[in-house]
Amino acid sequence: MRGKARELGITIGTLPTGSKNCITDVAGVQVGHVTLDQPLAAQGAYACTGVTAILPHDGNLFQQKVTAASYVLNGFGKTTGLVQVNELGVLESPIMLTNTLSVPAVTQGTLQYMLEANEDIGLTTGTINIVVGECNDSYLNSIRACAITPEHAMEAIRTATDSTAQEGAVGAGKGMMCFGYKGGIGASSRLVKVEQTDICYTVGCMVLSNFGQSADFLAHHYRASTSQQSSTLAPTDGSIMIVLATDAPLSSRQLTRVIKRCGIGLGRTGSHFSHGSGDIVIGFTTAHHIPHTTDQLIVTRTQLREDHPVMNQLFAAAAEATEEAIINSLFQAQTTVGRDGHKVEAYMYESCEK
């Protein structure tokens, strides 16, 4: 039976997790998956791929934006929308994840969904910034077939919920690999309690893992199986997309500082941000809902003091949640067979429970 690291007795870091140990522990955040696992018309072709949608809240994301930022650890990736996110410091659409060649279709589907929900876009107001990230799943998925359609993106958004998200070989993670074994979607969360107060902030992380060779994996850090034969497989142009959510009141600049620490969690697993890897982090905070239009000249928002000890706790939470989300993506993924009979084995681990 596959399970999350903590279900197997493996504790990562020192901070406590939220009740779901998932990005949806951040109040309002929702996740939806659409998974394709089916043969295609062409001989040997197979759709082993999907779409994952992450929504900061259940309202109208264009009309009520959230503070956001992104950070590039290694830029061998194909994303949409991050230039404007960093320029304006806001997110106004779901964050969508998919395979490399499906970025256009997922962008189109997300755009259609947002246009249907906002009749003013492009008429009485400006356009919209759609955010999509990707990893290359071409070993298992017939990526040239472009099986993902705009409708799949819309379905992922419509079916998103705030329950504990599925992890492993689901959604955008269906065809992904991690350290030469089956990878994909992983999630974790951390609680940051402010001393001598009743305040507790939540940091949640979701990853799309598709990177590394088995020799890179620091398995002994997780008391995982050391008897399994090493895999010779490695993702083609392997990458990772990391999405970090929090309810801590941070500015876009402060959020950038926090999400940089996701790279620490990635490095702890054994990654060195290789040449062909797109290692990209997108972060947002739900603390601020920013109206699309307002008559106010001055907008006032709260934010944490830069030198308060809680900032260091948020840094630690970002690193820990990212590390554990990656391990969860690896431990929960099932052995998968894809195009041309290609097979990627699930990582075999040993339970640490007594």
Pairwise CA distance, residues 92 & 80, whole Å? 13
- Cβ neighbours of residue 315 closer than 8 Å, sequence gap 6 or more: 257, 258, 261
Determine which one of 102, 239, 252, 329 is catalytic. Answer: 239
Query: How far out from the chain centre does Cα 81 lie?
Result: 15
Tell me, what DSSP letter sits at residue 142?
-
In Å, what is the CA distance from 343 to each residue of 139, 175, 176, 177, 329? 9, 10, 11, 11, 17
102 as an active site residue: the answer is no
Strands in 56-183 per DSSP E: 64-75, 90-91, 95-99, 131-135, 177-178, 181-182
- How many other C-beta atoms can be found within 10 angstroms of the C-beta atom of residue 64? 15
Nearest in space to 180 (alpha carbons), one of 159, 210, 138, 202: 210
The answer to whether 118 and 60 are in contact (CB under 8 A) is yes
Long-range contacts at 225-228 (CB < 8 A, ≥ 24 apart): 225/347, 225/348, 225/349, 225/350, 228/347, 228/348
Sequence-separated (6 or more) residues with CB below 8 Å from residue 300: none
**Out of 37, 137, 247, 279, which one is annotated catalytic?**
279
Distance CA 160, CA 55 (A): 8
Helix, strand and coil in the chain, % to nearest 5: 30, 30, 45
Half-sphere exposure (CA, 13 Å, Cβ side) for 22?
19
| Catalytic hit among 188, 209, 252, 277 | 277
Q: What is the distance between the alpha carbons of residues 240 and 73, in angstroms, rounded to a whole number? A: 10
214 is catalytic: no
239 as an active site residue: the answer is yes
Residue 90: Cβ within 10 Å count: 18
Distance CA 207, CA 192 (A): 20
Active site residues per annotation: 239, 277, 279
